Amino acid sequence: MRLNSFAGGKKLLALLALALLLSGCEHAKKVALTGRVTSTEEGLMEGVLVSAKQAEGPMRVTVVSDSKGVYSFPADRLEPGDYDITIRAATYELYDAIHTGKISTSVRTGETTNLDLKLKKTADVASQLTSAEWLESAPGSEQEKSKLFRCVACHDLAPVMKSKYDEKSWPTTVKRMENWLAPSVIQSPLPSPLPPPEGAPDATLTAYLATINLNGRNTWPFALKTFPRPKGAATRVIITEYDLPGKLRLPHDVAVGHDGFVWYNDFQQPIFGKLDPRTGATKEWSLPILRPKYPQGMLTIKIDKEGNAWLPRFFQGCTLVKFDTKTETKTTWRVPSEFDTDQSRCGHVALGAPDGTVWMSDSGGRKMFRLHPDTGRFDTFDSFPGYVADKKATAIETAGRKSKGHRTYGIGVDSEGNGYFADIAGGTIGRVDAKTGEVQLFPTPTPDSGPRRTNMDREDKYWFGENYVSKIGMFDTKTRTMKEWTPPTPWNGAYPTVRDKTGAVWTVGMSTDYIYRMDPASGEFTEYLLPTLNANLRRVDVDNSTTPPTIWVAEVHQGKLAKIEPLPN
Ligand code: HEC
């Protein structure tokens, strides 16, 4: 009896020990770093982005505090090592960092590091504002703000708002902007080899600019507004950012490969590369200079169904490069010389045509090309038949609406091989019939919507960002009907739009640091905030091999790629 009970007790103890050990393991497996985020003003704070950057390494992982103010990093996301901790929470900064410059911590194998974070109101809200928040804060009519909004491309609005130009000196500055080419950034301006457009800049814009900057005053004549912090579903996400090598990397696009790698291209240099998301290691290749006086970088990189990379050379001649990712060899095609002009900007490519042809657009020459890769032959289509570039009188009328002009931008192809393009200047979607070559234009519901980057989904629905009006649109190529949705943040400048395998639709823009997820059934949006200010986002790609799908963006102005993993609710 005694013996039995002793044996039984031992068994129980062993079981208890095992349970403790298991739960211990479980716990260690689960959380590497955790803590509570508080401030005097709010107590426990939801929606604070907490980032841990490898002290030596290119990766930075970000999580968001929940409704109890708790943030936690799963152990499989932080390798043991030293990390620098930063936060993003509008109008706040990290209290300890104010005194010590930065906050660092270590993560050890099998242990949970506890680190509570105290936030303090910042004295410099202006340095935290996104361009969309500047636009929301500034006074002015919708029309005036729309003009200011168009300045957000090469840089955010902070230099504009912090400038001291008055009504007399603004025109010279705005005129100088007209000479910079699209891939320019403040640190690296690229002048146009062509003469700038004639005439003085828009006087209503320059007069407006003088009313909102620091001309003759030390502070802004309006309150600085910030968007609310993430809450609920928007806090359930893990974001991993990767620093790219090199001094001034401007990764314009990111594209998910088939081999676990993620591909990117550079906007100013003739470089493309691949990133290993597990380690942050990169490998890069460069392309030859074909037009020395013109910018060398590229707009896009896309991956075909065999996993090969396609790169249109943009300013560098109307040229298309295919990079075989297995043999690491390049094949190059150039359009017939009569179509390869000084104006050519062959920046976009569309893959997936059933017959193996590949489409490329020339936004400067307003053409669509269809390449037959086996023979090297290009079919050429006028995107806007009858339209003479910049002769507004010849602009095409669609559904009783006359466009201001036309310009081909992002392109796509449906399951029957018909070509599609976004007419960014005209606010229409174009369709090129694969058999007859006939071009038809369909107006977007909102005029002058600036349709920009596009993606064809598996049901032949053609998605696009309506950049100029901050909406997203969809052209159903079967019913030839359009639909639009509006993300909640104003001035979001939706740029690309893509649908994932679950049906969710994703978009980003240059003026906010949000990654927007939209449920087409309910029209509901979730806004995931990036930890990096002024990331300047233009491309979103989805990795459908994971469940739920993983989202990738390129932070063009910050030289980083970012992986967004929404967590189940
Ligand atoms: C095509 C790219 C591009 C666009 C679009 C652009 N800028 Fe700039 N901006 C630059 C570059 C490059 C620099 C740095 C070189 C320079 O100062 O000219 C700059 C610098 C600035 C500066 C800081 C330098 C200074 O003179 O104070 C201000 C202010 C500015 N831009 C205002 C504007 C305004 C206003 C608009 C919209 C009307 C605009 N920018 C649109 C490229 C651009």
Tell me how far the alpha carbon of residue 546 lies from the centroid of ligand 1, in angstroms: 41
Task: Output the residue whose Cα is nearest ligand 1's atom 38.
Answer: 151
* Same domain, yes or no: 98 and 141: no
SS (H, E, C) 277-328: CCCCCEEEEECCCCCCCCCCCCCCCEECCCCCEEEECECCCCEEEEEECCCC
Last residue of a domain, one of 161, 184, 212: 212
Total domains, the chain: 3
Provide the residue range defining the domain that includes 245.
Answer: 232-566
Instruction: Return the CATH number at 34.
Output: 2.60.40.10
Which regions of the chain are under pLDDT 50? Answer: 1-9, 12-13, 15-28
Q: What separation in Å is there between the alpha carbon of 530 and the centre of ligand 1?
A: 25
Residues 393 and 518 in one domain: yes
What ligand 1 atom has the least distance to the C-alpha of 205? 38
Distance from the CA of 177 to the center of ligand 1, in angstroms? 5
Ligand 1 proximity of 180 Cβ (cutoff 6 Å): yes
307 and 281, same structural domain?
Answer: yes
CA-nearest of 302, 294, 303 to 270 is: 294
At 24 the pLDDT is 45
Same domain, 422 and 509: yes
Say whether both 372 and 518 belong to one domain.
yes
List, in order, residues 6 or more apart from 338 with CB less than 8 Å away. none
The answer to whether residues 259 and 403 belong to one domain is yes
At residue 27, the pLDDT reads 43
Q: Which atom of ligand 1 is nearest to the CA of 188?
A: 12
Give the per-residue pLDDT at 29. 52
Nearest CA to ligand 1 atom 13: 186
Question: 113 with 136, same domain?
Answer: no
Q: Is residue 9 part of a domain?
A: no
Ligand 1 within 6 A of CB of 153: yes
Name the residue at shortest CA distance from atom 19 of ligand 1.
Answer: 186
**Residue of 354, 379, 377 whose CA lies nearest to 369:** 379
Three-state DSSP state, 204? helix
In this prediction the pTM is: 0.94
Q: Is 155 in the pocket of ligand 1 (CB under 6 A)?
A: yes
Task: Examine the domain organization and report whether 75 and 159 are in the same domain.
Answer: no
Using a 6 Å cutoff on CB, does residue 250 contact ligand 1? no
Digit-coded pLDDT (tens) for 224-234: 999 999 999 99
- What was the pLDDT predicted at 183? 97
Kindly report the protein residue whose alpha carbon is nearest to atom 2 of ligand 1: 154
Give the pLDDT score at 60. Answer: 98
195 and 325 housed in the same domain: no
* Number of H-type helices and E-type strands within the chain: 7, 40
Does one domain contain both 342 and 485? Answer: yes
| pLDDT tens track for 410-436 | 999 999 999 999 999 999 999 999 999
Decide: 182 in ligand 1 pocket, CB within 6 A: yes
Query: What pLDDT is stored for residue 194 in this prediction?
Result: 82
Q: Is residue 157 part of a domain?
A: yes
Q: Is residue 220 part of a domain?
A: no
Which of 61, 90, 122 is a domain's end point? 122
Q: Could you tell me if residue 430 is inside a domain?
A: yes
The residue contributing the CA closest to ligand 1 atom 29 is: 160
Place of tokens 């229409």: 428
CATH number of the domain enclosing 542:
2.130.10.10
Q: Same domain for 455 and 558?
A: yes
**Do 138 and 281 fall into the same domain?**
no
Q: Is residue 334 part of a domain?
A: yes
CB atoms within 10 A of CB 257: 17
| Of 425, 149, 58, 485, the residue nearest 160 (C-alpha) | 149
Q: Is 177 in the pocket of ligand 1 (CB under 6 A)?
A: yes
* DSSP per residue, 120-182: EE-S-GGGG--HHHHHHHS-S-HHHHHHHHTTBTTB-SHHHHT----TTTHHHHHHHHHTB-T
Q: Is residue 414 part of a domain?
A: yes
